[in-house]
Amino acid sequence: MSLITIILNILLPPLAVFTKHGLGGTFLISVILTLIGWIPGVIHAFIVND
């Protein structure tokens, strides 16, 4: 995982997921989790972008 990916995972989780997986189910889950709360979005981004 690169430094840029780590920074994106923390600051903008859906963007980090989008850069690796594109538009799809994973991206939508990331957006929903980020809207529910920032922490769940960050955790999901780190798990998905592993």
What pLDDT digit, counting tens, does each position of 7-16 carry? 999 999 999 9
- DSSP symbol at 14: H
pLDDT of residue 1: 75
Tokens of 16: 């980090």
Give the side-chain half-sphere CA count within 13 A for 50. 5
Q: Are the CB atoms for 30 and 38 separated by under 8 Å?
A: no
Place of tokens 């999901």: 44
pLDDT for 24 equals 93
pLDDT at 13: 95
Average pLDDT (39-50) is 94
pLDDT tier at 50, thresholds 50, 70, 90: confident
